[in-house]
Structure 1
Amino acid sequence: MTAAGLVPGRLLIVTAVAAEAEAVQAGVNAGSADPATVHVAPVGVGPAAAAAGTARLLTLAEAAGVPYRAVISAGIAGGFPGRADVGATVLGARTIAADLGAESDDGFLPIEELGFGTSILEADPTLLEFLTAALPHAVIGDILTLATVTGTAATTAALQARHPAAVAEAMEGYGVASAAASVPFAELRTISNPIGPRDRAAWRLREAFSALTEAAAAACG
């Protein structure tokens, strides 16, 4: 069974940018799933654009009478050193809006402590179980969503301390998960760079896109 066949209906895979969508589409095309059952689309960078773009696609499909039955947020990401190496594939057990909250003299306060909701959204267990089986070498853990990605050692250390189960950070997962609402959701990422001080020379975009294509092929094969 493929991810597309996991539930009746169509599967929506959303990415931030076109290059990610192209890498995912190449994997879908290489798999055995009926292409008509899998829709890959870039919806924009950041949680707000991702939420709005995903909600639009879900609404249009519902109105047309061909609703999506599951949503996967896919793309490349930064990996926490020692938790997810460059080139690795990661799956989010939970998607966490890591900068949704407030500063205080005692440190960062997540939105839960402010009484305004939750910053943590869990992956659909059935969809996550399938993806874990299809991608047995994937690293499983929390994936952080941030509007401002990490670029210093101090922020990296603070995030690692606050989120001991986090393996990667990206910018869209929480927005996609919020838009998905009751539609089964999961997040899949491949690691292009270590999280920490920005060093473009250490980024491995080609390897990450290749891993993304392989992961999509396994999920749809």
Structure 2
Amino acid sequence: MPHRILIVTAVAAEADSVTAGLGLDGPELLPLPGGLVLCRHTDSVPRPAGGDAPVDVQVDVLVGGVGPAAVAASTGTALAYASLTGSGAGSPYDLIVSAGIAGGFPSRAPVGSVVVSASIVAADLGAETPDGYLAVEELGFGRSAHPVPEALTGRIAAVLGAGGLPHTVGPVLTVSTVTGTARRAAALAERRPGAVAEAMEGFGVAEAAAAYGVPVVEIRAVSNAVGLRDRTAWRIGEALESLGHAFRLLGKTVFVELEPS
């Protein structure tokens, strides 16, 4: 069986950057229920630990939609499809990657850099009270964070660093409403100390992955600063280039090495 990796983006431009970075030319297109399409590529790559036999790696790229609800549904659909059509026992994928662009907290993740999730956090899943914000765990049910194994983040960060790509490891926040004021940015930073970026899909991907027991990590390139909404300061093209560069450095073998034992 090949090592199977699912990479989930929100929009087609992000998927294009990822597939270009990985060099996925001429992929197979697989229609899924609900009008979704998986972009599949299978390749043989050198064995990470050395040796003569190559490693077969299957990479599926999914454009999952914008927001945690849409992407949780689409990722769950892809996981269910892989479970039903795959052969053998166990999880349908060895690793799931939530990938795309993001807003970065300026003091931690400048525009053009890459963030790698130490945890994937639903930043606004909870309740406002007169005494402040309570995460859903503090209300006595649910969860608002998925920790990412250090083996995943460490390997990714090492490869990005060796390639000279500026990057930061830390909590990546998932929000349903993108931050547009300095006040909200400060509140999020206080609520989740060490947060490096915010986006809209990671937690949805992580929830679907957790339902199938598949490890997950979030990798994003920073297109703008979290804070005052100023579209003239956005650098989406630069961020998409950084995203492609990140996956060019990481390649497929890196994710095989990240596979849990």
Structure-2-length-normalised TM-score: 0.78
Map of 1:219 onto structure 2: 250
Map of 1:210 onto structure 2: 241
Task: Write the deviation string for residues 154-181 of structure 1: whole angstroms up to 9, x where unpaired.
Answer: 1011111111210000000011001001
Task: Write the deviation string for residues 40-78 of structure 1: whole angstroms up to 9, x where unpaired.
Answer: 111010001111111111110111115221100000000
Match of 1:76 among 101, 109, 116: 101
Distance 1:125 1:14 in 2: 21
Matches within 5 A, 1:97-176: 97-136=122-161, 137-176=166-205
What is the Cα deviation at residue 26 of structure 1? 0.4
Distance 1:176 1:130 in 2: 21
Structure-1-length-normalised TM-score: 0.92
Map of 1:29 onto structure 2: 23
Distance 2:145 2:193 in 1: 14
Distance 1:128 1:55 in 2: 23
Distance 1:89 1:9 in 2: 25
Map of 2:14 onto structure 1: 20
Distance 1:130 1:11 in 2: 16
Distance 2:93 2:200 in 1: 23
Map of 2:222 onto structure 1: 191
Aligned-residue sequence identity (percent) comes to 52
| Local SS of the residue matching 2:111 | coil
Q: Does structure 2 conserve the Cα–Cα contact (< 8 Å) formed by 1:135 and 1:218?
A: yes
Q: Does structure 1 conserve the Cα–Cα contact (< 8 Å) formed by 2:9 and 2:100?
A: yes
Q: Which runs of 5+ in 2 are unaligned?
A: 26-41, 45-56, 253-261
**Which residue type is aligned with residue 143 of structure 1?**
V
Map of 1:53 onto structure 2: 74
Map of 2:259 onto structure 1: none
Task: Write the deviation string for residues 84-121 of structure 1: whole angstroms up to 9, x where unpaired.
Answer: 00000000000110000011111111111101122110
Q: Does 1:89 align with 2:89?
A: no
Distance 2:117 2:133 in 1: 23
Higher relative contact order (CA 8 A, sep 6+): 1
What is the Cα deviation at residue 8 of structure 1? 5.3
Distance 2:179 2:43 in 1: 38
Q: Does structure 2 conserve the Cα–Cα contact (< 8 Å) formed by 1:30 and 1:217?
A: no
Q: Which runs of 5+ in 1 are unaligned?
A: 1-6
Distance 1:124 1:8 in 2: 22
Map of 1:38 onto structure 2: 59
What is the Cα deviation at residue 30 of structure 1? 6.9
Distance 2:86 2:9 in 1: 23
| Local SS of the residue matching 1:12 | strand
Distance 1:129 1:63 in 2: 33
Distance 2:60 2:160 in 1: 20
CA 1:8–1:184: 2 relative to 1, 3 Å: farther
Q: Does structure 2 conserve the Cα–Cα contact (< 8 Å) formed by 1:8 and 1:69?
A: no
Distance 2:239 2:149 in 1: 25
What is the Cα deviation at residue 130 of structure 1? 2.2
Task: Write the deviation string for residues 131-176 of structure 1: whole angstroms up to 9, x where unpaired.
Answer: 1222124200000000111001110111111112100000000110
**Which residue type is aligned with residue 75 of structure 2?**
T
